[in-house]
A = this chain, B = another copy of it.
Amino acid sequence: MNRRHLLACMGALPWAGTAPAQSTRSASLVIVGGAEDRLQDRLILRRFADYCGGAQARIRLITAASSEPERVAQSYQRVFEALGVADFAALPLHTREDAADPAVLREMAQADGLFMSGGDQARLMEVLWETPAYAALHQAFHAGGCCIGGTSAGAAVMSRHMIAQGPAVLRPSKAVTSTDIGLGLLSAAVVDQHFSERRRLARLLSTLALRPDLLGVGIDEDTALVVERGRAVEVLGQGSVTLVDTTEMQSNVDEVDTEEQIEMLGVVLHTLPAGRRYTVDDVPRRWPAQLDRALRRLIEPGPLRG
């Protein structure tokens, strides 16, 4: 049973269209650290298109994070055309009113892939938060097997606890980052992007000091973390994904003032370079138990919302 049949059966989205041709798509997250190649090999966006079902896929772009949505839309239009994806369009989704427009919701429900551009993650969440489009995106991912991609701001919103902004500090300290609520497609993680290029480890550690229950996920530019739900994690592109696990950390964050530095003891770090794939149920596993635990937190999707 494919996604649209399922939705039609559920009655959740009664406008859901006809079934698409058999596709290879699988409900995955393609979380890009920004500045992905759109001119040369386009490896990451090519793989995103593949996850959505290839040339037959219906891919829709969400540019609500961007201050230049038309320019961004034209850029991605050229990319997906070059990749042979005929059915690509940017959604007219720029305001909270748009986020309740039945035509937009119908497009979201029928998409094989939704890709969120860069820009400002707070602006993107202002447009989407608790709107029908927010619910439609969750439905598409959770119930429909729609592939969700996002770059930069579109990556930041993947987690529930989202870094809204904050400077690339030298050392972990309190009150460095302001956080907000993201889409929550990742259940137990917090994503930071442009990670190595903008030297954001201390910013991510600052966030985790206050939320050590979350898994820190730092994604480099032109690099994607692909999360195949319930199954595997893969790194694509040019850089690395850094996982920061504070599960067993001891810190003095509750004792220090806002301006003081934080002591963080027992933080576990994994650097996963592009080209590596981690299938969780592989036996025998060739990695430490700590990585196994981190991967299982990544592949477990957040709850359906909206």
Asked if residues B240 and A271 are in contact (CB atoms below 8 Å), the reply is no
State how many angstroms separate the Cβ of A215 from the closest Cβ of chain B: 14
Residues of B within 8 A of A170 (CB): 196-197, 220, 239
Residues of B within 8 A of A220 (CB): 170-171
Asked if residues B261 and A270 are in contact (CB atoms below 8 Å), the reply is no
Looking across the interface, which residue of chain B has its beta carbon closest to that of A199?
B199
Partner of A270 from B264, B274, B276, B286 at Cβ < 8 Å: B264
Residues of B within 8 A of A271 (CB): 171-172, 205, 261-265, 267
State how many angstroms separate the Cβ of A24 from the closest Cβ of chain B: 28
Asked if residues A266 and B248 are in contact (CB atoms below 8 Å), the reply is no
Asked if residues A267 and B270 are in contact (CB atoms below 8 Å), the reply is yes
A67 at interface by CB-CB < 8 Å: no
Within A277-291, the residues touching B (CB, 8 Å) are 286-288, 290-291
A258 at interface by CB-CB < 8 Å: no
A143 at interface by CB-CB < 8 Å: no
Asked if residues A268 and B270 are in contact (CB atoms below 8 Å), the reply is no
CA distance A261 to B242 in the complex (A): 12
CA distance A158 to B172 in the complex (A): 26
- Counting chain B CB atoms within 10 Å of each CB, the highest count among A171, A267, A268, A288 belongs to A171
Residues of B within 8 A of A270 (CB): 264-267
- Counting chain B CB atoms within 10 Å of each CB, the highest count among A265, A266, A274 belongs to A265
Looking across the interface, which residue of chain B has its beta carbon closest to that of A289?
B266
Looking across the interface, which residue of chain B has its beta carbon closest to that of A272?
B263
Q: Count the A residues whose beta carbon is within 8 Å of the partner chain — how many? A: 35
A75 at interface by CB-CB < 8 Å: no
CA distance A240 to B261 in the complex (A): 8
State how many angstroms separate the Cβ of A286 from the closest Cβ of chain B: 8
A260 at interface by CB-CB < 8 Å: yes
CA distance A262 to B273 in the complex (A): 7
A73 at interface by CB-CB < 8 Å: no
Residues of B within 8 A of A264 (CB): 269-271
- Counting chain B CB atoms within 10 Å of each CB, the highest count among A172, A270, A276 belongs to A270
Partner of A287 from B199, B239, B240, B265 at Cβ < 8 Å: B265
State how many angstroms separate the Cβ of A302 from the closest Cβ of chain B: 25
State how many angstroms separate the Cβ of A222 from the closest Cβ of chain B: 12
CA distance A198 to B248 in the complex (A): 28
A83 at interface by CB-CB < 8 Å: no
State how many angstroms separate the Cβ of A267 from the closest Cβ of chain B: 4
Looking across the interface, which residue of chain B has its beta carbon closest to that of A274?
B261
10 A-B Cβ contacts within 8 A?
A: A170-B197, A250-B287, A250-B288, A260-B273, A262-B271, A263-B271, A264-B270, A265-B270, A266-B288, A267-B268
